[in-house]
Amino acid sequence: MHNHSARELALGRDMREPAYSIVFGTVVIVGLPLNAASLWILLRRHSLKSPGVVFMIHLVISDLFLIISLPMRVYFYATGSWPAGSMACIWVTMLFRNNIRSSSIFITFISVDRLLAVVYPLKSRLLRTPSKACRAATTVWLILLAVNVPESVNLSRLLKNYTAPACFEFYPAEVDEKLHTSAVAYLQLVLLFVMLAVNIVSTALVSWTLHKHVNDAAARVNNKVNVLLIFAMNLTMFTIFFLPVSLAVIFNKLRPALNCLASVNCCLDPLLYYFSFDAFWKKKEDVDLSVARE
């Protein structure tokens, strides 16, 4: 039976870990007010008038879930100890994983919604409704919950043999290996590549449509630069934040730094909301026409 002390499990820690604490703390300080303000604006001034708004609201919720889990990571990396027990570790771990999964899905939904609105405005009118967007978002959360249950049970089972509180990079080596070489981890990596491909195709089609003005919807888009910025940001999220941390199943030693990098995505998502609406800061009654074009 393994009987490691917290300090024994902490062997190999280096000066990078205080830097992780600083980054996670900065994400909390910057990301919390930005996302809280974004949620208030989206709900108060845009309501649920378009599928794009629905997906953005759920993206904000995903980011807020991540942010509320980060203070425990700050404490862990700053002190080298985990005082909260295995159950808290499981919750914090699941919230982090869910952010990567749900954010990538909702960003892909936003890209596909923009694609349909610009390239297939008439054919997609019945498909692009707020109610269908709400059902899609609810299905995503239910699937994630279903995945979390066996993952949580497995993590709890792996950690119960260790008397010292352990979490994150204090996982014993064999626990860490099992957690990050699971079938779910590889499936997540495959799905991320598929969603990246969807975003690339969507970006190319929208860019071509706007450039050629092949339909009335493309001609009526007031700010083509903002539309293209949305797609550019979506691709950036995948290539810089989502894919690298998912590749940790292959490059496991880089996982702490990649987790740190991935958390920054929630600070940049508010830019996506801003560029999505020319009238982001206006009152609800002033944006009805703008939302209708969405």
- Domain-embedded: residue 1: no
Mean pLDDT, residues 208-236: 75
Which domain covers residue 177, as residue numbers?
Answer: 7-162+170-293
Let me know if residue 142 belongs to a domain.
yes
Query: What's the domain count of the chain?
Result: 1
pLDDT interval class at 63 (50, 70, 90): very high
Does some domain include residue 2? no
**101 located within any domain:** yes
Query: Phi/psi zone of residue 251: left (φ > 0), alpha (ψ -120 to 50 degrees), beta?
Result: beta
In a domain, 182, yes or no: yes
Q: Rounded to an integer, what distance in angstroms lies between the CA atom of residue 204 and that of residue 218?
A: 14
In a domain, 255, yes or no: yes
CATH number at residue 103: 1.20.1070.10
Give mean pLDDT, residues 114-136. 89
Task: Please report the pLDDT score of residue 270 as a whole number.
Answer: 87
Give the pLDDT mean for 49-60.
91
Confidence of residue 280 (pLDDT cuts 50, 70, 90): very low
SS3 for 72-115 is HHHHHHHHCCCCCHHHHHHHHHHHHHHHHHHHHHHHHHHHHHHH
- Mean per-residue pLDDT, 98-115: 94
Residue 30 lies in a domain: yes
Residue 27 in any domain: the answer is yes
DSSP the chain: -----HHHHTTT--THHHHHHHHHHHHHHHHHHHHHHHHHHIIIIITT-SHHHHHHHHHHHHHHHHHHHHHHHHHHHHHS---SHHHHHHHHHHHHHHHHHHHHHHHHHHHHHHHHHHHSTTTTTTT--HHHHHHHHHHHHHHHHHHHHHHHHHHHHHHTT-SS---GGGS-HHHHHHHHSSHHHHHHHHHHHHHHHHHHHHHHHHHHHHHHT-SHHHHH-S-HHHHHHHHHHHHHIIIIIIHHHHGGGTSGGGHHHHHHHHHTHHHHHHHHHHHH-TTTTS-GGGSHHHHHH-
Mean pLDDT of the chain: 80
Q: What is the pLDDT of residues 81-90, one digit of tens each?
A: 888 778 888 8
